């Protein structure tokens, strides 16, 4: 038995796991794991260094070969992929000019003289590289190996991290100036390269933390096993043992929280408050999961070892009263878990939207699994309580009690918190009724169908709770977002304004233009506000001490300085580190005001330049500003989940998302409330009335029945497999069950396998085809845009023979205009591959990529003379589709290359593509679940007659009437049923013959016994008679003797008479059991028994008496006919065929 295991052995095993985990944890967190990490890093770096030298040698051999024509791009085309795969890149300079580059992702320089050095580890604008140089004639060949990505800021696309081949945390710093540091790194030749300076919360990789974490978790599970043994072996009363277990679990959890034991847990994302945090007692998702395990463990022991009889003895309460109290406790646990599940959803960043499966993360899986554990706990408790009180309540009484408990708990909730957790109460009532419907034996067997019913109930309840709570959470987010949008700021613009401020402070041209009073506005606009700020209306005001402005709204003049100073003081919020201010003026637009002040000798107050920036109406932005700003300044994810519109003066001024809002807000208004929710077009809209005719509308998609239908298969399968795993681990009887590979299982497995494989193949084919078609459509859209933009650019460069430096400023302004018109970014590269003009120059001057075009595209355009070229490209973590097209003047000469990096639609493209994939995945998961259900149904239908035959065969007994099977289908099973029925009839006949044979044998045995019994008294009778004959005496003695002899003879004769009577009673013919039946039908049944006889033909003539009924014993009549037929068959010789005719 399990409880006979030595509990202290289990405790020692648990302590061993804890000790092993603590030793490993201490080695990772308190000792120096960085020593091992840096050593491995140096070994891998030296291997990569040697491989880099081999690649350089191959390029050197190519240059030295006799047939080399100076074309690096065509000969080294495969080298462009080495950066992503192994971190290698190559540069070739001819004298001082860049002649070849393998990958533009390296932030290299166009002139060799600009390189930070020749060999060793160099810092480029976007990372640290190991560089090797080889000189071959006039060519300087440089091999680069990426060691670490390094950016000025980080966001979801730009990550500062070591190259994927190195197992070092991204927080580790590279120090190239301190050879005496603790962790110097040397080349393969023993030369000092740089030093590693470990930094960060912990000095090991996150992956290393999981191993001790797993050991701690296993130790915790074994500790729970020890608690279970203590519970089983204790002789204390039931509730005392439960209380002791609860205290033990609380102490473990308290030690974990207070002393951060184990510490490694708190370094994992599962235990991060950024994912979920409710309060100090439930600060993370990992803690929620731990509490779910403890809750299940405690309730399992409560329900499994519950004994109502013992409770009745201890409490002296009636059994029914105890049953009601137990059900009340059970119902309370449903309310408790619903409260915590709602809190889990409300206070987390976890997605529970199973209809968007790509949003489901590892944290989502753990959270849903925790919910499943809570539901398993309360279901198990309910089942065990019902199992204990089943005999005390009728089903109707139990339903009434459960309904009264639901009503009571609902009333308590309403009185205390003015809310009713209807979902939890309904689930409690449903679980109680389901457990009541099943018999006690069925509960003990815990069959698969029983599990499916409860898993279905849990899945449906969870979906309702997930989506209703998520909808309530999104409503709160809608309201918060609406309030935030009233004073919406542009993080990207503020980053650029900070950079502009720093550049303006160093600009010596502006003071000179202030004196000359010519070209000032044009210079500032073209120099500083011609890129990102093309999407803003920019106005400039130059004010001196005596200047005034005409205020249009007030229809009067106002001093220039005073007007702007008052406006900034009343509405301005300073952008940190600048003289630009965000204007909180609620005008439905994003507004900034800049104040550039310059002292002037002729003006006491100096001269100030005021710059007003107002976002364009209906502006949504182009390009990808998220690539250019730090993650701390990025817009929250809510901007992706919601659509919104701003109305100023009742008219639409700004919108975001795909929803098509009306231009006038009044068509949406139904009340004057500050916040108003309305539903139309399948979306819920929050209308926020800010002031007068200013409104903000935030819209979200509402959950529909389709979302529930799509999500149910995912959750059902996950719950089913998870709970089945828990039951297999925790229940020994389930583990001991062997799988029966019977016909039903084989049919189900065959159907499910065929359907699943077919659906998988069709799904993969369909998804791949649709993805291909969508990508082709995306490419065609980009091609059409390229044709339109190329036409515009060609028209502007129609008479240009070459793009000279004098044309670059004009070209930048022109492509900025085209970028705003066509809503896409535009780059123009020269014939040497260098950037000439760009609508997004920040990408280049920030060093995210080099100023050269993609090497493969350069080769295709200038060497293979492609007129149009498309390819996927990347800037760090941002993937997009890029199009190239040569620019050719009227004389047929190349002016450069037009490039469209399709940033603007890339995010939407990715979302739409994900939507297509998810839609097909959802469809095929649903079809798979339906196919499983259909397979089970079909298999049950096919095997039902076989099961019926099996059951009837099991019930067959000689001497009893065996019922035939009624099956009216003419198929293989029908033939089998027919044969079975025939054998049943033959068995009946054989049973009758056997009974007759047994009676005859009994007769023979009885006859022998009677003969023996009759023979025994005859001998003394004969002797007495002979003795009587020999007697000669007379008189009284003779008479006495005669009397004695005759009495003896009479006695023996009486014995013989009794024996004969008993024998006659035994041999008496049974009483006939008469009944009315159709004679012809009965005769036909007997004839059917002989229809397989090969050499006999039986003909039956009813002569119109088919419906003739007789009152007789059916069995005796059948036996008589059978005997007649058998006698007829036996009379036919073996070598002849016979004919038997029966007529009515």
pLDDT digits (tens, 9 = 90+) for 409-466: 999 999 998 899 999 999 999 999 988 887 554 444 445 667 888 898 999 999 999 9
- Three-class DSSP category at 123: strand
Express each pLDDT in 664-681 by its tens digit: 998 888 788 889 999 988
Q: String of b and e for 1014-1023 (b: at least 16 CB within 10 Å)?
A: eeebeeebee
pLDDT at 690: 85
The answer on pLDDT for 731 being more than 80 is: no
Residue 773 vs residue 637, higher pLDDT: 773
Q: Assess contact for 299 and 380: CB atoms under 8 A.
A: yes
Six-digit token pair at 524? 């500032």
Of the candidates 476, 875, 486, the residue with the CA atom closest to the CA atom of residue 641: 476
Express each pLDDT in 465-478 by its tens digit: 999 999 999 999 99
With residue 610 as reference, give the H or E element that holds it. Answer: strand 603-615
- Token pair 């489901």: residue: 360
Q: Assess contact for 896 and 811: CB atoms under 8 A.
A: no
Q: For strand 1096-1101 and strand 1138-1143, is the pairing parallel, antiparallel, or unpaired?
A: parallel
- How far apart CA 985 and CA 988 sit, in angstroms, is 5
pLDDT at 3: 47
Residue 568 vs residue 1086, higher pLDDT: 568
- Token pair 């998988």: residue: 760
Residue 223 vs residue 1009, higher pLDDT: 223
Q: Assess contact for 381 and 330: CB atoms under 8 A.
A: yes
Which of 838-852, 902-916, 1058-1072 is the least confident region? 1058-1072
Q: For strand 835-838 and strand 827-829, is the pairing parallel, antiparallel, or unpaired?
A: antiparallel
Six-digit token pair at 269? 């994302």
Distances (CA, A) of 1064 to 207, 1001, 1013, 1036, 1058: 97, 16, 15, 42, 10
- How far apart CA 393 and CA 381 sit, in angstroms, is 18
Q: Assess contact for 1014 and 1059: CB atoms under 8 A.
A: yes
DSSP state for residue 305 in the 8-state scheme: T
DSSP state for residue 316 in the 8-state scheme: -
- How far apart CA 913 and CA 456 sit, in angstroms, is 31
Q: Assess contact for 199 and 181: CB atoms under 8 A.
A: no
How many Cβ atoms from other residues are within 10 Å of residue 973's Cβ? 18
Express each pLDDT in 684-727 by its tens digit: 999 999 877 889 999 998 888 878 887 888 898 899 888 888 87
pLDDT band at 733 (very low <50, low <70, confident <90, very high): low
- Three-class DSSP category at 903: coil
pLDDT band at 12 (very low <50, low <70, confident <90, very high): very high
Q: What's the pTM? A: 0.75
Which domains, from first to last, does the chain contain? 33-197 (no CATH), 268-445 (no CATH), 488-631 (no CATH), 738-934 (3.30.450.20), 972-1066 (no CATH), 1074-1143 (3.30.565.10)
Q: Assess contact for 212 and 28: CB atoms under 8 A.
A: yes
How many Cβ atoms from other residues are within 10 Å of residue 735's Cβ? 10
- How far apart CA 18 and CA 213 sit, in angstroms, is 10
Residue 1035 vs residue 435, higher pLDDT: 435
- How far apart CA 457 and CA 1056 sit, in angstroms, is 80
pLDDT at 1046: 67
The answer on pLDDT for 102 being more than 70 is: yes
Where on the phi/psi map is residue 839: left (φ > 0), alpha (ψ -120 to 50), or beta?
Answer: alpha
* Cβ contacts of 331 within 8 Å, gap of 6 or more: 402, 405, 406, 409, 425, 428
Q: Assess contact for 700 and 684: CB atoms under 8 A.
A: yes
Which residue(s) pair with 897 in the sheet? 829, 886
pLDDT band at 553 (very low <50, low <70, confident <90, very high): low
The answer on pLDDT for 616 being more than 80 is: no
Q: Assess contact for 124 and 108: CB atoms under 8 A.
A: yes
- How far apart CA 994 and CA 329 sit, in angstroms, is 64
Which of 361-365, 372-376, 400-404, 1012-1016 is the least confident region? 1012-1016
The answer on pLDDT for 638 being more than 90 is: no
| Axis crossing angle, helix 906-955 with helix 972-1030, rounded to the nearest 10 | 20
Express each pLDDT in 328-355 by its tens digit: 999 999 999 999 999 999 999 999 988 7
Six-digit token pair at 369? 């699994």
Six-digit token pair at 826? 């535009």
Which residue(s) pair with 652 in the sheet? 647
DSSP state for residue 739 in the 8-state scheme: P
- How far apart CA 772 and CA 757 sit, in angstroms, is 22
pLDDT band at 619 (very low <50, low <70, confident <90, very high): very low
Which of 142-146, 334-338, 509-513, 1084-1088 is the least confident region? 1084-1088
How many Cβ atoms from other residues are within 10 Å of residue 533's Cβ? 21
Which of 129-138, 636-645, 941-950 is the least confident region? 941-950
- Three-class DSSP category at 487: coil
pLDDT at 1: 46
Distances (CA, A) of 930 to 305, 708, 779, 938: 39, 15, 37, 12
């Amino acid at each position: 038995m399990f409880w006979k295991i030595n509990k202290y052995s289990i405790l020692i095993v648990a302590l061993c796991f804890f000790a092993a985990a603590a030793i490993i944890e201490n080695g990772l967190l308190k000792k120096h794991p960085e020593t091992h990490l840096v050593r491995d890093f140096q070994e891998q770096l030296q291997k990569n260094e040697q491989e880099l030298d081999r690649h350089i040698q191959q390029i050197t051999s190519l240059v030295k070969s006799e047939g080399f024509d100076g074309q690096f791009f065509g000969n080294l085309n495969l080298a462009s992929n080495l950066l992503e795969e192994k971190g290698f890149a190559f540069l070739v300079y001819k004298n001082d000019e860049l002649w070849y580059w393998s990958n533009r992702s390296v932030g290299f320089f166009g002139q060799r003289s600009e390189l930070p050095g020749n060999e060793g580890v160099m810092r480029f604008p976007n990372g640290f590289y190991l560089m090797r140089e080889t000189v071959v004639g006039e060519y300087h060949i440089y091999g680069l190996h990426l060691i670490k990505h390094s950016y000025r800021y980080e966001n979801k696309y730009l990550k500062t991290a070591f190259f994927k081949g190195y197992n070092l945390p991204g927080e580790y710093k590279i120090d190239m100036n301190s050879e005496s540091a603790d962790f110097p790194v040397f080349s393969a030749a023993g030369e000092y390269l740089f030093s590693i300076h470990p930094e960060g919360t912990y000095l090991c990789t996150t992956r290393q933390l999981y191993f001790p974490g797993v050991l701690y978790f296993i130790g915790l599970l074994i500790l729970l096993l020890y608690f279970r043994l203590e519970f089983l072996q204790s002789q204390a009363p039931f509730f005392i043992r439960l209380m002791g277990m609860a205290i033990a679990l609380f102490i473990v959890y308290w030690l974990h929280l207070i002393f951060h034991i184990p510490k490694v847990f708190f370094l994992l994302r599962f235990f991060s408050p950024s994912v979920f945090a409710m309060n100090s007692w439930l600060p993370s998702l990992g803690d929620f999961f731990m509490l779910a395990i403890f809750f299940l463990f405690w309730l399992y022991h409560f329900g499994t070892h519950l004994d109502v009889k013992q409770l009745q003895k201890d409490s002296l309460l009636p059994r029914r009263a105890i049953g009601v109290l137990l059900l009340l406790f059970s119902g309370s646990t449903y309310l408790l878990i619903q409260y915590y599940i709602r809190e889990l959803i409300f206070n987390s960043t976890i997605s529970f939207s199973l209809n968007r499966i790509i949003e489901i993360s590892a944290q989502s899986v753990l959270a849903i699994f925790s919910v499943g554990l809570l539901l398993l706990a309360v279901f198990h408790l309910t089942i065990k309580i019902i199992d204990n009180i089943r005999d005390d309540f009728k089903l109707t009484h139990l339903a009434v009690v459960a309904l009264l408990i639901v009503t009571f708990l609902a009333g308590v909730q309403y009185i205390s918190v003015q809310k009713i957790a209807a979902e939890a109460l309904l689930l409690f009532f449903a679980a109680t009724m389901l457990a009541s419907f099943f018999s006690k034996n069925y509960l003990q067997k815990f069959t698969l169908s029983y599990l499916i019913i409860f898993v279905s109930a849990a899945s449906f309840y969870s979906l309702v709770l997930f989506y209703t709570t998520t909808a309530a959470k999104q409503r709160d987010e809608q309201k918060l977002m609406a309030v935030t949008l009233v004073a919406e700021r542009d993080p990207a613009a503020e980053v650029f304004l900070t950079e502009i401020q720093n550049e303006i402070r160093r600009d010596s041209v502006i003071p000179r233009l202030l004196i000359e009073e010519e070209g000032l506005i044009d210079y500032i606009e073209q120099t500083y506000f011609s890129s990102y700020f093309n999407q803003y209306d920019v106005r400039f005001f130059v004010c001196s001490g005596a200047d005034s402005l005409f205020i249009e709204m007030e229809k009067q003049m106002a001093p220039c300085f005073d007007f702007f100073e008052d406006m900034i003081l009343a509405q301005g919020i300073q952008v940190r580190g600048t003289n630009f201010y965000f204007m909180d003026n609620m005008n439905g637009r994003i507004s900034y005001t800049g104040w550039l002040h310059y002292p002037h000798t002729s003006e006491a107050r100096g001269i100030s330049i005021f710059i007003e920036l107002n976002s364009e109406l209906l502006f949504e932005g182009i390009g990808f500003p998220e690539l250019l700003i730090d993650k701390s300044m990025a817009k929250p994810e809510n901007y992706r989940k919601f659509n919104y519109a701003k109305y100023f003066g009742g008219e639409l001024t700004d919108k975001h998302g795909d929803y098509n809002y009306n231009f006038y807000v009044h068509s949406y208004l139904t009340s004057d409330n500050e916040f108003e929710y309305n539903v139309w077009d399948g979306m819920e809209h929050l209308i926020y009335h800010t002031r007068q005719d200013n409104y903000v509308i935030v819209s979200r998609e509402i959950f529909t029945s389709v979302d529930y239908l799509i999500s149910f298969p995912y959750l059902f399968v996950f719950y089913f497999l998870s709970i089945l795993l828990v039951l297999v681990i925790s229940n020994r009887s389930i583990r001991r069950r062997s799988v029966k590979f019977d016909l039903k299982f084989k049919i189900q497995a065959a159907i499910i396998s065929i359907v699943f494989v077919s659906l998988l193949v069709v799904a993969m084919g369909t998804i791949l085809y649709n993805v291909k078609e969508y990508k082709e459509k995306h490419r065609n859209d980009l091609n059409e845009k390229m044709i339109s933009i190329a036409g515009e650019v060609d028209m502007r460069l129609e008479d240009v023979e070459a793009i000279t430096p004098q044309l670059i400023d004009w070209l930048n302004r022109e492509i900025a205009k085209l970028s705003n018109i066509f809503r896409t970014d535009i780059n123009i590269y020269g014939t040497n591959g260098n950037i000439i003009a760009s609508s997004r120059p920040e990408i280049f001057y920030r060093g995210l990529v080099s100023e050269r075009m993609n090497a493969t595209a350069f080769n295709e355009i200038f060497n293979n003379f492609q007129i149009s070229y498309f390819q996927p490209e990347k800037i760090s973590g941002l993937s997009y589709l890029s199009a190239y097209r040569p620019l050719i003047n009227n004389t047929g000469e190349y002016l450069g290359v037009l490039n469209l990096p399709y940033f603007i639609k890339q995010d939407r493209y990715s979302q739409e593509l994900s939507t297509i994939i998810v839609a097909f995945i959802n469809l095929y998961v649903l079809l798979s679940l339906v196919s499983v259900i259909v397979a089970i149904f079909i298999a049950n239908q096919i095997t039902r007659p076989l099961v019926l035959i099996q059951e009837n065969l099991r019930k067959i007994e000689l001497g009893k009437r065996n019922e035939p099977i009624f099956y009216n289908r003419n198929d293989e099973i029908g033939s089998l049923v027919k044969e079975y029925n025939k054998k049943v009839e033959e068995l009946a006949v054989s049973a009758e013959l056997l009974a007759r044979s047994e009676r005859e044998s009994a007769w023979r045995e009885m006859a022998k016994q009677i003969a023996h019994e009759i023979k025994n008294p005859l001998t003394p009778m004969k002797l007495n008679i002979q003795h009587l004959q020999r007697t000669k005496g007379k008189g009284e003695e003779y008479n006495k003797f005669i009397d004695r002899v005759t009495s003896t003879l009479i006695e023996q004769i009486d014995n013989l008479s009794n024996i004969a009577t008993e024998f006659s009673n035994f041999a008496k013919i049974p009483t006939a059991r008469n009944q009315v039946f159709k004679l012809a039908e009965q005769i036909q049944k007997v004839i059917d028994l002989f229809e397989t006889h090969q050499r006999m033909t039986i003909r039956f003539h009813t002569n119109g008496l088919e419906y003739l009924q007789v009152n007789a014993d059916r069995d005796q009549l059948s036996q008589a006919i059978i005997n007649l037929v058998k006698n007829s068959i036996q009379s036919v010789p073996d070598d002849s065929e016979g004919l038997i005719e029966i007529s009515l």
